[in-house]
Amino acid sequence: MNQSGDEYKYWDRFKATYDDDNLFLVGDITHQAASEWLQARLGPDDSVLELACGTGHYTEVAAKVVKEIIATDLAEGLLETARERFAGIPNIKIQTENCYGTSFADGQFDVVVMANLLHLIREPATALEEAGRVLKPSGRILVLDYTSHGLERDEKKAMMRRYFSRWGEIPTYSFAATPENLTALCEKAGFTVNDAVLLGEGCKVACVEAVKGRINT
Ligand SMILES: C[S@@+](CC[C@H](N)C(=O)[O-])C[C@H]1O[C@@H](n2cnc3c(N)ncnc32)[C@H](O)[C@@H]1O
């Protein structure tokens, strides 16, 4: 595997503590805001692919309202936690997949969810292209990325301190997500953005909903 595709190794080191670390970094308010944003955009007819599910926080959120979700990741340690967490839940399937190129057929899904993926990988455009490939015509992507964008200077410093204390150095290829830079990435990959917002307190979350294809409004 070349360097693009090995980013999961950074996260798999934290398999024992990921959920706790993540909540410590992000906080309840932002977790809740992101979860509500996501759930409000999903429905009972949706067949969903999640790229980079990690331990499955957003898998659980989505599964409550969708027909079915296949949650995928490359980090076997995190996937193990997800498998245990969702054992026996009929509408959740956990599968090992690389977000840069999956085993799914063209046009298979209504929605692709990408939570905290695009700002943490070397080639977000390739992951978006793959999402576009596996989506039905007019299928949607739901993208959300935690970010320090929009915080006051002191809040930003505090967020960085929380990050370093649990996870150490931030990957050099990561970037601070904003509704604007995520919108630009999605549009470049051939999507039409219909919602782009910044939510949360203490740690922000940039959220973008976009439809496959270029739609003239
Ligand atoms: C910050 S975690 C986010 C996990 C989860 N979506 C969440 O928000 O809690 C980033 C995730 O991206 C996954 N990842 C990184 N590169 C990947 C790749 N090429 N294919 C699939 N997953 C990948 C990591 O394994 C990790 O689970």
Question: Per-residue pLDDT tens for 33-42?
Answer: 999 999 999 9
Give me ligand 1 centre to Cα 216, in Å: 33
Read off the pLDDT band of 1 (50, 70, 90): low
Task: For the chain, give the number of residues.
Answer: 217
Q: Specify the pTM.
A: 0.97
Calculate mean pLDDT across residues 90-105.
98
Question: Is residue 60 assigned to a domain?
Answer: yes
196 SS3 class: strand
Amino acid at 206: A
Question: Is residue 217 assigned to a domain?
Answer: no
Residue 180: CB atoms within 10 A of its CB come to 13
Evaluate: CB of 62 within 6 angstroms of ligand 1. Answer: no
Number of domains in the chain: 1
Domain with 137, as residue range(s), is 8-212
Ligand 1 atom 4: residue of nearest CA: 54
Amino acid at 135: L
3-state DSSP helix/strand/coil % of the chain, to nearest 5: 40, 25, 35
Distance of CA 215 to the CA centre of its chain: 24
Give me ligand 1 centre to Cα 91, in Å: 21
Question: Is residue 190 assigned to a domain?
Answer: yes
* CATH at residue 22: 3.40.50.150
Evaluate: CB of 58 within 6 angstroms of ligand 1. Answer: yes
